[in-house]
């Protein structure tokens, strides 16, 4: 069980990193468009995660 969790976790690692990067963009910007774009990025990242999860079953 633990090994399976580690394998799944490592497959999602890049997506988790993308999500963290999108999250850090928002507080660092003074431009109104950046938070909006960060939200759009997070939606796309979630779609990628869902697609990947459906392929790994």
Q: What pTM was estimated for this model as a whole?
A: 0.72
CA-based nearest residue to 22, from 35, 10, 11: 35
pLDDT of residue 1: 46
Higher pLDDT, 21 or 3: 21
| Residues in the chain, total | 57
Contact 41, 50 (CB under 8 A): no
Contact 57, 12 (CB under 8 A): no
Half-sphere exposure of 33 (CA within 13 A, CB side): 0
pLDDT of residue 13: 85
What are the pLDDT digits (tens) for 29-38?
Answer: 888 899 899 9
pLDDT of residue 50: 93
CA distance 36 to 13: 24
């Amino acid at each position: 069980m633990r090994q399976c969790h580690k394998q799944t976790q490592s497959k999602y690692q890049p997506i988790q990193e993308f999500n963290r990067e999108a999250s850090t963009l928002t507080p660092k910007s003074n431009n109104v468009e950046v938070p909006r774009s960060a939200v759009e990025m997070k939606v796309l990242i979630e779609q990628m995660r869902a697609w990947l999860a459906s392929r790994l079953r």
